[in-house]
Amino acid sequence: MSNQSTLVARANNQLPQVPAGFTVQLYATGLDNPRLLAVAPNGDLFVAQPNPGSVVVLHGIASNGMAQAKTTFASNLTAPFGIAFYPAGANPQYVYIANVNSVVRFPYQAGDTVARGTPQTIVPSLPSSGHSTRTLAFTTDNRLLVSVGSNGNAPNTDTDKSETNRADVLAYTPDGAFLKIYASGLRNAVGLTVDAAGTPWVSVNERDDLGDNLPPDFVTHIQEDGFYGWPWYYIGPNPDPRLPPNHPELAQKTIVPDTLLTPHFAPLQIAFYTGSQFPAFYRGDLFVASHGSWNRSIRGGYELLRVLLQNGKATGVHEDFMTGFVNPDGTVWGRPVGVAVGVDGSLFVSDDASNSIWRITYTGS
């Protein structure tokens, strides 16, 4: 069923809700479709704005908690989404940006707030219809991972060739040479990141039209050459009843994800908490920006989740962390998309409904 949210303006002084001991403030407002975030080594916040086709940089923190400056790093992009710095460390040489149909990179030196050169096309062609959220991450062995969501919901991929190299995480060299399909069967893997041990993780928007409660969206680490089910199976060897039983050999190959979320929560960017500002028991946990979806009679999502890990392994447990974007009458004023950890250990969250960036700090109980 369709249950589209009705978006309304944020009321004056309306704030999201966070746990006791935390404070949330507006860091920036008046943006234009702010979505994925990336923190530069010097602390600047890079923000992808797909609709105007730009990436902006927010710099510094003023006494009122707002960004001190905003500049346009690059424009005339094609629905930019994922952003990654390379190589890792304090002095990356490039910032990579995923357009919907390509990957480009710009020369970069720490502190740049405007691109110092024209974009170099690294991956010249990505499928551009259907899901448009391309995300990027570099592995510790210097492979560029690119997530590409499916074109459709649950097509028969034996006959539908529009799904070639889709619902996959693809691997390239930093210079753009295609290496392999790194992982497959991921209907729409959005929040691509790498943990402290070098393991890639994703959030996945699963298929629609199987009812309110199937299948769960999820967050998981991904195994190289792993298969996660789409379109034939979901959450292990559970077949999609709309498709012919063409691939029984894949049933036992389908990997069960680490942490199952409520169906149709629409998880987007994810970020491991690597800072020291929050209490110690948050360190290493995963924050998930949940945009909310249209395909559930009881509305879900519209929040920031905390996924609990132990020694780098998912426990399967998640909890609400930042909520309050849904009004008592069911209207919605905010939709989280991006999440990133600042160099000071604070947490940034983008909200493409109110066109804002929120900053969460820990102030103590």
Cα separation of 218 and 232, whole Å?
17
The helix/strand/coil state of 208 is: coil
The verdict on pTM exceeding 0.95 is yes
Helix, strand, or coil (residue 150): coil
Q: For residue 329, what are the contacts with CB-CB under 8 A and spacing of at least 6?
A: none
| The pLDDT value given to residue 297 | 78
- Give the tens place of pLDDT for each residue, 324-355: 999 999 999 999 999 999 999 999 999 999 99
* 139 and 145 Cβ atoms separated by less than 8 Å: yes
Lookup: tokens for 247: 């691939």
Of 106, 51, 110, 109, whose CA–CA distance to 81 is shortest? 51
pLDDT digits (tens, 9 = 90+) for 261-306: 999 999 999 999 999 999 999 999 999 999 998 778 777 899 999 9
Report pLDDT for 1. Answer: 57
pLDDT tens across 351-365, in order?
A: 999 999 999 999 987
Q: Which of 260, 278, 276 is nearest to 314 (CA)?
A: 260
Share of the chain above pLDDT 70, in %: 99
Q: What is the pLDDT of residue 124?
A: 98
Q: What is the pairing mode between strands 218-221 and 226-227?
A: unpaired
The two most distant CA atoms of the chain are separated, in Å, by 61
Q: Which of 278, 276, 289, 130 is nearest to 203 (CA)?
A: 289
Residue 180's pLDDT is what? Answer: 98
pLDDT in tens, 7-16: 999 998 899 9
Quote the pLDDT of residue 102: 98
- For 159-201, write each residue's pLDDT tens digit: 999 999 999 999 999 999 999 999 999 999 999 999 999 999 9
Mean pLDDT across the chain: 96
Could you give the domains of the chain? 32-272 (2.120.10.30)
Mean pLDDT of 106-123: 96
